Amino acid sequence: MQSRSTPPTRAGGRPRSAEADTAILEATRQALVDLGWTKLTLGDVATRAGVAKTTLYRRWAGKSELVVDAVAELFDELELPDSGSLAADIEGVVLQFAALLGRPETKTALMAVVAESTTDEPLRERIRASIVDRQKRLVLTGRARAQARGELPVEPDAASAAATADLIFDVIAGAVVHRALVSAEPVDGEWARRFTLLILGGLSAVSGRGPDG
Amino acid sequence: MQSRSTPPTRAGGRPRSAEADTAILEATRQALVDLGWTKLTLGDVATRAGVAKTTLYRRWAGKSELVVDAVAELFDELELPDSGSLAADIEGVVLQFAALLGRPETKTALMAVVAESTTDEPLRERIRASIVDRQKRLVLTGRARAQARGELPVEPDAASAAATADLIFDVIAGAVVHRALVSAEPVDGEWARRFTLLILGGLSAVSGRGPDG
Amino acid sequence: MQSRSTPPTRAGGRPRSAEADTAILEATRQALVDLGWTKLTLGDVATRAGVAKTTLYRRWAGKSELVVDAVAELFDELELPDSGSLAADIEGVVLQFAALLGRPETKTALMAVVAESTTDEPLRERIRASIVDRQKRLVLTGRARAQARGELPVEPDAASAAATADLIFDVIAGAVVHRALVSAEPVDGEWARRFTLLILGGLSAVSGRGPDG
Amino acid sequence: MQSRSTPPTRAGGRPRSAEADTAILEATRQALVDLGWTKLTLGDVATRAGVAKTTLYRRWAGKSELVVDAVAELFDELELPDSGSLAADIEGVVLQFAALLGRPETKTALMAVVAESTTDEPLRERIRASIVDRQKRLVLTGRARAQARGELPVEPDAASAAATADLIFDVIAGAVVHRALVSAEPVDGEWARRFTLLILGGLSAVSGRGPDG
DNA sequence: CGCTAATCGAGACGGTACGTCGGGTCTTAGG
DNA sequence: CCTAAGACCCGACGTACCGTCTCGATTAGCG
């Protein structure tokens, strides 16, 4: 995660404390749990981390950037279970994702930084680089496994294959987020099963042909 | 929209200005366009509306409530095109929804109030009542039409039918929002077609059987 | 003392609290006693006065202006004793002035605001209006009495008379301040007597005789 | 000027740069001219002098000490003109002193450090040693010359003579400072003449005649 | 028609957080 | 031991909004 701002010159001077980084990110997550996005203040985070406010501002441009980095670490915990079938893989990752969204620090922070990013292009890039794109690996890995198992056809057109992957990702991530945060209904095994059924039924229809439908 | 707070007594006295309401909501939307959610301040909205801050606080409890009301009006513009086929209906509503999300006032406000609602239950209810549930009608109407046309089977189990409707709603709304605001890729005809293909392929699979898969 | 900044418009709105003014000025003097000029902070004054920082900034432009107003009130306590002779009048006012300069709030504040005023013309004007010019009355009254008693000739030229009054004022105020704050030696009856001797009779009058006058 | 802090041990190691001292004091004076006492910062002085902040703090305890040393050098320029009469000597030194107080670096710094010294005894001592006492020589020399010329009687009592010298010093320095910095009126030949008249002959000498002496 | 009572605008109020700045210290690497 | 560079902790700065309050001045509808 190269996401912190780097000091302008690389010359002499006291080096930045690595422990401070760790402490700040951990304090940020804890503050999110305790206070939520809106009431989280950088001064409070600094206090929790046992660090001066200036130290915090030296490394992050603002609240949004800090929180993105803090929650990005949580998303890296997601991993694709190798459960032997595409359906089980999808259900597994959906439930994992839902569990992550159930954690208070993620719940309150994720939508807030995305909202922030709608009027802040650099922030959107940071979110994409630190969170979104990193999780697309789950879709790619899952599809590769399914193809190896013969559950999905191999799309010959690379561009079409990429578009499909993006589509799948938007559908899965979007649906789970919407269910969990907007509808605020539980993402349980039952829902995951029905959702997977929907995805799988359509998946073959999409991957089976070219982009011209 | 009964959502404003009502004066305690109904007795005599100067009645509230109706023009103020209109001016405030319009000023709120304009401020959202100009400033985005975060930089929008109630003082600024009051100034734009040519109204005292007091007047504003007498009617709304805070920023979130005001903004929810201001954007809710926009969502009522959505309507299901009667295009003769389920696929065309879905594509149409997806593109309409995407167009709505493309407007700056909606874009910045929607995610923000949802984020806010994760730690504010009354706000979540307000959002659900004013925005979310009102749009579920699109799904229900669409399904009814498709069933009338014979494109979809009639689910005999009412509970299962409701669950399916919720699922569809989360998938459509979630996917479009994710594509538009998180991935920040265009929701164009091409994407709508591929997405519809995916949904339709899976839809029959889901609605064809009971919840136990 | 019209010295506070006046609200731009004179129209409606909640009027400024008069008690706040009193509390702030008193708190300022107390803070000067406790902390001295350098360590006095406006935030601390606000807290002591039981007032918000914004209230303070709404009325005074900064620390210097506030302190000038706070100490100006003390200078108004000075009064010319009517002791029957010019010498006794001078000695009396010198000792009064010295007592005022001995108070910690005056001691630490006076030189500081004057220093500040060397690079701040409006502040200098405020000091002159609130403090310096108001005390020139002592010189004018004293001279008038002395002239009435026949101790001093009446200067016919008005311009010259004014210049003399200014000179006397600079000499008395300057000498006492220098003795008290720069040399930091006591301004006691003995010193006041010698000083008065010098003023009244000049150098030879002082050097010509012993300390017992 | 032994006033800088001395390194604890005198043992080997890189010796302190002498050029740094010169550069720092000169930078300090220039910063006083550009910014005034309040806005002068040690970090800025260090930058101007092309020196690290550490180097500065190794030599001076703080802003006040540094500035005292920087302006003390300027006061050494004062010298008593040997003009043949006591009156001319006084006028000459008054005008020299006024010229010194007219320089921006002196003007802003002198009062500020004196103000600071009212709550900082060591600083007061440093000011007395570096600035004040060094100028008392002017009074002593002037009196000695006047006595040699027969213009002033010789005071036999040593204690009384010292008290008189102190008094003269406070009156001259105080009056000039007050005229220049508090009243902010010009200390020109005209004023110097009237002031000298007062010092030499007392109040009646001044008020008894017109401004042309 | 005059009361009565809630409204309106304006703007001051006590708070909280902001992001920046300067103070003085400490930690590097290098002379 | 000194130096330049720059990060560190700390505390204050002056500003911006928050949501509340106190004004005097409008408006209705009820009596």
- What's the pLDDT score for residue D15? 72
Of C192, C139, C131, the closest CA to residue C170 belongs to C139
| pLDDT, tens digit, 9 for 90 and up, residues A137-178 | 999 999 999 999 999 999 999 999 999 999 999 999 999 999
The pLDDT of residue C183: 93
Instruction: For residues B125 and C118, give the distance between their C-alpha atoms in angstroms, rounded to a whole number.
Output: 62
pLDDT for the residue A208:
58
Domains of chain D and any CATH numbers: 18-59 (1.10.10.60), 72-206 (1.10.357.10)
Of chain B, the percentage scoring pLDDT greater than 90 comes to 82
Please report, for residues A94, A95, B22, C6, C118, the alpha-carbon distance to residue A169 in angstroms, rounded to integers and kept in the order given.
11, 15, 40, 61, 68
pLDDT-derived band of residue D11, with 50, 70 and 90 as boundaries?
Answer: low
Tokens of D170: 């406070």
For the segment A71-100, what is each residue's pLDDT rounded down to a tens digit?
A: 999 999 999 998 999 999 999 999 999 999
Smallest CA–C1' separation from B11, nucleotide: E5
Amino acid D33 CA to nucleotide F13 C1' distance, rounded Å: 23
Residue partners of B168: CB distance under 8 A and separation at least 6: B139, B143, B199, B203
All residues at 6 or more sequence positions from B117 whose CB lies less than 8 Å from its CB, including other chains: B64, B123, B124, B127
Q: Residue C210: pLDDT above 80?
A: no
CA distance D18 to C82: 61
Please check the confidence at residue B107 and state whether its pLDDT lies above 60. yes
| CA→C1' distance for D40 and E28 (Å) | 28
- For D164-175, what is each residue's pLDDT tens digit? 999 999 999 999
Residue of least CA–C1' distance to F4: D52
By CA distance, what is C33's nearest residue in D? Answer: D119
Work out the end-to-end distance of chain A between its first and last CA atoms, rounded to an integer number of angstroms.
39
* Alpha carbon distance B43, C117 (integer Å): 37
Distance from the Cα of B34 to chain A's closest Cα (Å) equals: 10
Residues 2-41 of A with CB under 7 A from strand F: 7, 9, 11-17, 20
Q: How far is CA D69 from the centre of its chain?
A: 11
**B192, B96 Cβ separation under 8 angstroms:** no
d(CA C115, CA D170): 19
Name B19's Cβ contacts closer than 8 Å, sequence gap at least 6: none
Reported as a pLDDT band with limits 50, 70 and 90, residue C79 is: very high
CA dihedral (D68, D69, D71, D74) positive or negative: positive
Query: How far is residue D3's CA from residue B97's CA, in Å, rounded to a whole number?
Result: 77
Place of tokens 């007594």: B9
pLDDT of A54 reads 97
D9 touches strand F (CB under 7 A): yes
DSSP calls for C44-95: HHHHHHT--HHHHHHH-SSHHHHHHHHHHHHHTT------SSHHHHHHHHHH
Split at pLDDT 50, 70, 90, the class of A38 is: very high
- CA dihedral angle for residue B48, residue B54, residue B58, residue B60, rounded to 10 degrees: 40
Report the pLDDT value the prediction gives residue B116, as an integer from 0 to 100.
96
Among B residues 183-202, those touching chain A with beta carbons less than 8 Å apart: 183-185, 190-191, 193-195, 197-202
CB pair distance less than 8 Å for D36 and C119? yes
Check A201 against B203: CB less than 8 A apart: yes
Q: What is the mean pLDDT of residues C142-148?
A: 94
How many of the other CB atoms lie within 10 Å of CB of A49? 22
Q: How far apart are CA B65 and CA B55, in angstroms?
A: 15
What digits encode the pLDDT tens for the residues B128-168? Answer: 999 999 889 999 999 999 999 999 999 999 999 999 999 99
In chain B, the percentage of residues whose pLDDT exceeds 70 is 92
Q: How many C-beta neighbours within 10 Å does residue C106 have?
A: 23
Would the pTM count as exceeding 0.85?
yes
Mean pLDDT of D9-28: 80
Say yes or no: A17 contacts chain B, CB-CB below 8 A.
Answer: no
Chain segment B51-87, per-residue pLDDT in tens: 999 999 999 999 999 999 999 999 988 999 889 999 9
Average pLDDT over residues C134-159: 93
Beta carbons of C202 and D200 less than 8 Å apart: yes
The pLDDT score that the predictor gives to residue A62 is 96
Using H for helix, E for strand and C for coil, what is the string for chain A? CCCCCCCCCCCCCCCCCHHHHHHHHHHHHHHHHHHHHHHCCHHHHHHHHCCCHHHHHHHCCCHHHHHHHHHHHHHCCCCCCCCCCHHHHHHHHHHHHHHHHHCHHHHHHHHHHHHHHCCCHHHHHHHHHHHHHHHHHHHHHHHHHHHHCCCCCCCCCHHHHHHHHHHHHHHHHHHHHHHHHHCCCCCCHHHHHHHHHHHHHHHHHHHCCCCCC
Distance separating the N- and C-terminal Cα atoms of chain B:
40
Dig out the tokens for D177 from the structure.
């400072």
pLDDT value of position B210:
41
- Verify if strand F has an atom below 7 Å from the CB of C43: yes
